[in-house]
Each structure stands twice: as structure tokens, then as C-alpha cells.
Chain A
């Protein structure tokens, strides 16, 4: 299976990894050089991710492409197996795309405080950007890994740089001064770490359990996703109902913490509230996506029967997340915590789509991961720009910004509208697909989830009204509009939201076959419509029938 050509997937993870080390090694005095180096590395990664996207052939038969396979720990059957399906390609592209913006947005976030005594051994700026690149490398390799053990290592390892990013760098906008903010930050960082470690440990037990089962039944233990899926399909490997459910729960728990799913969500508002906004974007738009992605790739494919068994409970939890997250967002007084709760609501949608087990639901969930990444990045980064101007995260401290900084307010509104899934912007498509996919199998749940769209409008518009409209507050009066660097960050994100809202086909083309494969592993088929509609002459879309045949022929 090993591909002897250029190891593209390894390179995509290696570039940011090497970049992280190089950035960390830049001397203390050359802070700007470190920033440019980090930006360059992230752009190179983006280039490689685009190469992956173009080399990827959506119609191909095999589930994973661009595979690399090397033995790693022979005694335990651990392999360095990489490969991507359409879902992974989309998410790698998202990650690689967002990191340059995160770096640009955080350009001055780790500069030493003015007036601080220069310290030649302490290099926070270098550290900040190196840690971001390190996270990128680990996230990318998590998306690529098709070996459960390999995935687990990086799934856990990314906690370390994240911990330092959350705990070490604040936005200097706490309500009670720097000392209090530092306490809050370290609380948030420890909470983040503990939650995810607990999840990870339970997953480790399940990983070992999986190994034991394969070692017992196949003769040689393996962690290879594909091997296990094939062995299960051919009947070589049969898991007992109880064993499968336990293993599934072990995996799912870790992913549900990371995603996060109600009631395991409380670390997210703390972490996103205390971290600088680029780091908050990193948490919610990049790192958390590994959790939902892993549900699709590992939970469903390794344990199809147990997934179906757990579906009702998970759907209800996802539904609670949607409504609960939205209601709590309405009640927040802190801009960043509001966005965090909104994200919890959105993750509810993603998980709902995944476990609805329809092609619309899962396709929608995958698009949702990408679109939510972009839209939250846009909203959160603009919110960060806003907060850095006023030095406060409290909504009540703002008012009338629209008058003094119209471009900032406008981009904030577009980000907000994307968050409330306005048609024409990308998130609408994914949200609607998730809802349709859910509705076609579970109508009642679909209907209740639809209430989420009203609540989303409520929290976004209330936030916009309180911060941007009304009379100009005195402290807001001198606020300047977006600078060039900030516009460079926001404008492409907004353009992308518009583009993917109008023409999502490039993305759906890549994602659809992977979703189809996942569904076939789980052995689920879309529910058929109750009425079979024939093309109506005169009314139907011209060329409809012909196009369908073309699609068939292409397959």
C-alpha cells in the first residue's frame, strides 16, 4: 500500500512542525522575523493543503487516498499510516486556511508590554507563534492518521501547546486588572487540560481494549482503521455487543468532551473567554473539529452497531446542546463567552447531523465543520479587534460603535449573520442540510432543532444591537476603524463565506463520496420520499434526466 512518491501528507504536517521549532529558535530581539517566519510556514502549509485538495480524486474507489504506511512499533502493531478521505481533505484545507489568519490577527497579541524591561532569555512572541504552528501540525496529522494509536497520540499531544496558549497569553481585557486575569486564565487553562485529559484517558483505555480484542481474534493486534473495518466486514473480527458498546463509549466520551457536547461543555466558555481571540478561534474552529471529525471517522466506522445503539441518546444530547447553548448565549454579558455558547449550539448541530445517519445530515455536518470554522473565525476575530480597542469584553461597555467604526461594525454584522445562518452565506447550507437530514429520519427532533434558528437570530441581533447601535458611548468615541492588517484578515474570510454560500459544489463534490462510504460502513440508507415524483414535462428542469444519467455513467 505504501506510496513511494513524495510523502505529501507527512510534508503537510512536517512543515508547520519544523516551522514551530524554527520560530521558537529565533533570537529574542528579532520578534518581527519570528512572526514573518511563522506566517510563511503557515502559508506553505496552506499551499501543500491545496496540493492535497487538487491531487485528491473524489470519485476514486478506495476509501483513503495519498496513503503512506510505515511500520512504527512492530511489537504492538502500531503503524505510521496516513491517508485522507474527502472529509479529511476538507478539514485539512480549513485548518491550513485559518492558521495564517490566526497568526495575522494575533500579530501583536504576544508583544511584550510597553515599558516592560527587555529580557533576552524570555521570548513570549516566538513561543506564541511556535505553539500555534505546533497545534497546526498536530491537528493536521490527526486528520490524516488512519491508525488509531497514531491518532490518539496527536489527539492528546495537542493539549500541551493549547494549554500554554490559553494559560500564557491573555487579551489584557479582563475587568479586574492583570493579576486577576492571570488567575482566571490559569483556571481556564487547567480546566481545559483536565477535561480533555480525562476524556483522553478513557479513550486510551478503549484504544487498549480495541487492541486486546484484535490481538485475541486476529492473532496479531492492530490499530489500523482500515484493517479493522475490513476484518469486521468479512466476519474475521466480531465484537460482542457489550464490548462494542463499551469501546464505543470510551471513544465517544473523549470526542464529546473535545467537541464539546452538553453536559461536558463548561470548559469551552472559560477557555474561549480567557484566551486571546486568535487562540479562541484556534480552539473552536480548529482543535474542536478534531472531536467531531473523529466521531465520523472512528466512532461510526469502528463501531457501527454501537453507534446505532447510542444514537437516540446522542441525538437528544445534541438537541439539548443546540437549544441550551443558544439560550445561554442570549444570557451572556461577555462578548467572547457569548460566541463560545453559540459555538456549543453549533456543535450540537454538527453532532446531530453526524448521528442522523443520512447523507444530508453527515454531508451537512461536514460542511458545517468547515463553515462554522470560517464564520466563527470571522466573528471572533472582529470581536477581538473590537475588544483590543476598548479593553473590555463586557457587552455593556459598548454602544454606537457603528457610528465611529462602520467597517468594523459591518464586518461584525456579516460574521453575526453567518453565525445565525443567513441564506446566501455558507453556514446556511450546512445548517439546512443537517436539519433536512435529521428531519427525514427523526421529524420531531428536526422540528425542535429548527427552533435553534430563531434563538440564533436572537443572540446575534441582541449582541449587535447592544454593541454597535444606539447613541455613541463616551469611551467608544475615539475608536478607530479597522486597520489594513485587520482588513486583510477579515475580508478573505467574508469573501469565502459568500462564495461557499453561493457555490458550495467544490466542497460537496469532495465530501459526498466520503459520506457515502461512511454510511455504507454503518449500513444505513437515506429514507425514501413517500411519493416518487416523475419529471414533469414543461415544469421540470431541462436536461435533468440527462444529467442524472451522466452522473451514473461517471460512476
Chain B
């Protein structure tokens, strides 16, 4: 069975190679080839999953060693895969949602002349993402980690002729590289501490080293997670990443890649468990981001950017849960999976709306679309109910557990975290209701002469329906007998949290804040007419529209500062370093110019010099003899 693991990665990789090197001959069939390889990978994943279910919990982990990758001295990196319950969960999510989005893209990208290449990049992404979750050591994980970064770069910048897309792609890659730096230093630190960076030995021997090193490793891993998962302070790229085609936003920037940080923290659980300071940093980042993303999401008029803010916020929840240790890991992953369903569904819905609205993204130019796109409306609506945590739907189960676990951290910290999570839930309800109302309800604010909203073709709606079904039932299914927690327990370990507040009280409180959020949104956008041009808004609104000024900060400090630095250095290199050398050359030239004056060509002046020289020599000889 373990020999199948490599096939998971190989299938999309072959697809990517075929599509990217195949040339124009494959233009007509490219999308089918790409989808085929994605579905093939999913099929392998299902086979492996079925096999895994058939075994007892302790024997489920599979291992496949391909070959020794980099053997230099004591440094041994292997190309080896590890498939345990945690990886399996991710593999199913990635290949499942990935296949759906491949199929959706067949319709969405129909009129794009570079569709073949788009599918090549999507396949490349799948391969890299699967490598990330299947790697059995941190270095191989790093390969996948940067691989998804590359795929994300290529896909955000897919419409390269737009300068904004090219810039967004570059920004995403650069910000991610800052995070990657954290991961690579973490790997180096693991190597110098443990002499290896394979998951097994490292995670099993955390007890043998001091807490200081583990805290350092933990913080570096957190930096990496911040970059990839768009957490504060490295969150600025995600909003711009919406320049990419919508299926990309759904797959990479909502369902899978951005959750890699959560995977990393959960996978490295043993390190964080032994480093409480690092854990505190993780929960702090999670709590701050969940509020940050939610606030940004409230102010955006671009439907995709509002959803991007929401993604940031939801991943904040996951990071928060992952930072809570064994009481939170399983819920972090559970929320990750349910989020994968409903957020992908929401993005595909947004894509469907854009598809019908001539690629308009401004929600102020939508309105009253529910009658024009019924399927989109229903699927989007189910996703909406799931994300705000409507009782019985997926988000309800997963988010509720996280809020509960946050309270269970105990002490003041527990109250602060729990409070932040509750507040986040209220804001989530507010901004999602806002999106819903502005898009599907109210008066139409578009010109029927110019746009003709219509439902998308079946190839797009079917994936949306499947995802909507997932958003409705996944959470409930996972919670029967704590099935999901039991499934993950051998990998992530699990402990029941002891909350100072009873579970019922948390649920009740969540319901109350949910209603408040929905109510406020309905008062602001449901009862009143939405102006087609955004009002100026309060100071907070304006700041939130500009991503709470982080971009402005980056621009002034990093971009401007960097430009000045490089310009100064270029000048100095020319004037100082090169100048010193050229100065030496010039002074040599000057000196020889002077000396040249002696060579007049007059024979008699040479004769004088010779005579003088001879006299000096004779004198020197006599003097030397005298001494």
C-alpha cells in the first residue's frame, strides 16, 4: 500500500509536466488532462483512505522511502513520505477540493487562451501541496512549502498583462519568502540541536533539549506559518492575491495553501507543547489575526477581498486553536476542513457571480441577484450559514469547539482569548451578512443594458453544489461520537479542556453574538438602500479599507527605505569602492605623466642624467666602503 503514496504526488506532477512542456498541441485537451490527473490523485487518496480505515488506529501510519536525497556528512535528507491520519485528512481535502476546482475551472476559464497553462499550474500546485503534507522531514516539507509558493506566484500573476496582478504575485512571493526564512532557520536549528530534521526523531526527542532552543524553533516555525497563512504581521499579501483567477483564490488562498501554517504548527505539536512561550506567541498571533481579518473584511467592497479578510480571520481561529496545544489541535484541523468546504464554496459562488456580471467585483454594483442565479444563491447561502456558525451546519461545530477551547486555556488568558473569539464570531456574522445582503438582496444596482446576469454552466455549478453539501454536513458528521478527534488523536494527541464556562453557555453566547452581528448588518444593509458609491465612512472604516494601514507602513518603511538604500549603495559602489581603485589608477597615471617629462629626447640631457647617475653610484660605492 505504501508504494501508492508517491503516486499521489506523481500524478499531478506528471500532469503539470505534460501541460507545461507539451506546447500548443495540447491546447484543446489541456483542461481535461489536468482534471484527469487531479481526479486520479483523488482516487488514489480514497483507496489509501479505505485501506487506512481498515486498520487499527496504531498501525495506520504508512511510510515510503524513495531514495537518499542529500547525504553530506552528518546531514541526511531523504526523499521519503509519511502518510498518517493528519496527512490523510489533508490529502483528501487537497485532492477532493482540488479536483472539484479543476472541474469548475473548465467552465470558468473557458474563454482564456492560456487555459492549458492554467491547468498546468494548478496541477503543479497540487503536487507541491501534497508533497508538503506527505513529507516525512522538515526539509522535504520545505520543498513543498516553497513549491506551493511558486504555484501561488504563477497563479496570482496568471493575468500577467495586468501590472496589478504581476505586482501582487511578486508581493505574495516576497512576503512568503520572509516566512520561509523562518522555516529554513528553524530547520538549521533542528539540525544543530538534534542532528536530524526528520519528523520522527525530532518530535520524539523534544524532551532531551532545553526549552530555550525549542522556543526559538517554535517562534521560527510560527514566522513561517505567519507568512504562508497570512497571519499578522505577514498578512498583507493575501488581499492583493485576489488578483488571481477566482478558482485560484478558492483553492489556494482559501481552502488549502493558506492553511499550511496550521498544518506546520499541528505537525510540530511536540515542539510547541514543550515550549509554552512559543505557544503563547501562537495564540496571540491567532487572536490578533482573527480580529484583524474580520475588521478588514467588514470594510471591503470588493467581494473577493471581503472573503479574503474572512479567510485570514478564520485561519486566525485555526492558529489560535493550534496554539492551545492538545486541547485545540484536533479542532484546528476540523475547522480547517470545514472551512475548506464552505470557503471554497463561497469563493466559487463569488466566481460564479463575477462570471455572470462581466467580471465585476464591486458589491456596490450587485444587488438582487438571487432571482438571476438561483443555484449560486442557494449554494452561497449555505456556505454563508456555515461560516457564521448557524446551528447544525459545519462551521457551528468546529468554531464552537474552538471558542470553548479558548476559554479552557484558563486564567485571564482564557477569558481574553475566549472573548476575542466570541467578538470575532460576531464580526464574522456581520460581514458575511453584509456580503450576502449586498450581493443577492436589495435593489439591483447594475445597468441591465450592460450586464445580463445569468446562472453559470453545469460544469461550474456542480462543484458548488458538492461543496455546499460538504459545508452543511461535514461538521455534524465529524462530531458524531467525536469521530474526527478520535481519528486524529494518535497523531496530534488530545486532551479535553476544562472550561470555566460550561459548553452550553458558550454555545448560547455564540448564538447571541451571532444574532447581534446579523442584526446590525441587516439594519445597515438590509433595511436601508446600499449606496452605489461608498460613503466616506468613519476613521476605522477607512483604515480597514486600506488593510488597517499595514501596506502604507510597508510602503514607507520597506519599499521607500529599500529604494533609498539600494540607490545609495549603487552610488557608493561606483564612487567609493570602484572610485578607490580608479583613484589609484589615476594617481599612477599622474605620476607617470610627471616622470615622462624627463624623457625629452635631447641626447645631452640624457648624458647629464647618465653622468649624474654614475657619480651617485661611485659616491655610493665609496661611502659604503667607508662604512
Contacts and interface: CB of A to CB of B under 8 A. Distances in A.
A and B touch in the complex (CB under 8 A): yes
Interface stretch (A75-83, A200-208, A223-231, A325-333): A325-333
B454 to A, nearest CB: 30
Contacts of A327: 565-566, 569
Interface string A523-555: 000111111111110111111000100000000
B72 A433 contact: yes
B567 interface: yes
A266 B193 contact: no
Interface stretch (A28-36, A100-108, A129-137, A501-509): A501-509
Contacts of A470: 160-163, 166
Contacts of B184: 432, 435, 450, 453
B173 to A, nearest CB: 6
Contacts of A465: 166-167, 170
Question: Which 5 A-B pairs rank lowest in CB-CB distance, beginning with the nearest?
Answer: A539-B200, A359-B73, A529-B195, A331-B566, A469-B166
B498 interface: no
A461 B173 contact: yes
A447 B202 CA distance: 21
Interface in B421-465: none
B143 A505 contact: no
A265 B63 CA distance: 49
B192 interface: yes
Contact of B163 (A471, A516, A526, A543): A471
Given A453-B180, A541-B80, A472 B161 contact: yes
A423 B209 contact: no
Given A331-B566, A454-B178, A530-B193, A504 B70 contact: yes
A429 B70 contact: yes
Contacts of B211: none
Contacts of A457: 173-174, 177
Given A359-B74, A433-B72, A539-B199, A461 B170 contact: yes
27 contacts: A195-B581, A324-B569, A328-B569, A331-B567, A331-B569, A424-B143, A432-B184, A436-B187, A446-B185, A447-B185, A450-B185, A453-B180, A457-B177, A465-B166, A470-B161, A504-B70, A505-B69, A526-B73, A529-B74, A529-B192, A531-B194, A533-B195, A533-B204, A534-B201, A536-B201, A536-B204, A541-B63
B143 A471 contact: no
Given A331-B567, A529-B195, A542-B63, A436 B163 contact: no
Contacts of B195: 528-529, 531-533
A540 B200 CA distance: 6
A410 B22 CA distance: 13
Nearest to B166: A469
Contact of A439 (B70, B192, B201, B209): B192
Interface stretch (B277-285, B286-294, B570-578): B570-578
A332 B181 CA distance: 24
A23 B162 CA distance: 50
Interface string B49-79: 0000000000001010101111111110011
A284 interface: no
Given A435-B188, A446-B188, A451-B181, A533 B205 contact: yes
B181 A450 contact: yes
Interface string B79-95: 11000000000000000
Given A327-B566, A539-B201, 12 more contacts: A195-B581, A359-B72, A359-B73, A359-B75, A439-B192, A440-B192, A446-B188, A453-B181, A457-B174, A515-B72, A533-B201, A547-B68
A378 B204 CA distance: 43
Contact of B161 (A424, A469, A527): A469
A263 interface: yes
Main secondary structure on chain B at its contact with chain A? helix
B198 interface: yes
B588 to A, nearest CB: 10
B73 A512 contact: yes
Contacts of B180: 453
Contact of A266 (B68, B157, B581): B581
Question: Which interface class (under 10, 10 to 19, 20 to 34, 35 or more) fits B?
Answer: 35 or more
A547 to B, nearest CB: 8
Interface of B: 20, 61, 63, 65, 67-75, 78-80, 136, 139, 142-143, 145-147, 150, 153, 157, 160-163, 165-167, 170, 173-174, 177-178, 180-181, 184-185, 187-189, 191-196, 198-205, 208-209, 213, 562, 565-567, 569-570, 573, 577-578, 580-581, 585
Contacts of B580: 263
B275 to A, nearest CB: 15
Nearest to A459: B566
B572 to A, nearest CB: 9
A542 B208 CA distance: 23
Contacts of A126: none
B196 A533 contact: yes
B160 A360 contact: no
B73 A328 contact: no
B167 A266 contact: no
A48 B145 CA distance: 40
A439 B181 CA distance: 13
B209 A530 contact: yes
B585 A194 contact: yes
A422 interface: yes
B100 to A, nearest CB: 27
A469 B163 contact: yes
B558 to A, nearest CB: 10
Contact of B204 (A502, A508, A539): A539
A423 B65 contact: no
A468 interface: yes
Contacts of A360: 72-75
B190 to A, nearest CB: 9
B65 A541 contact: yes
Nearest to B220: A447
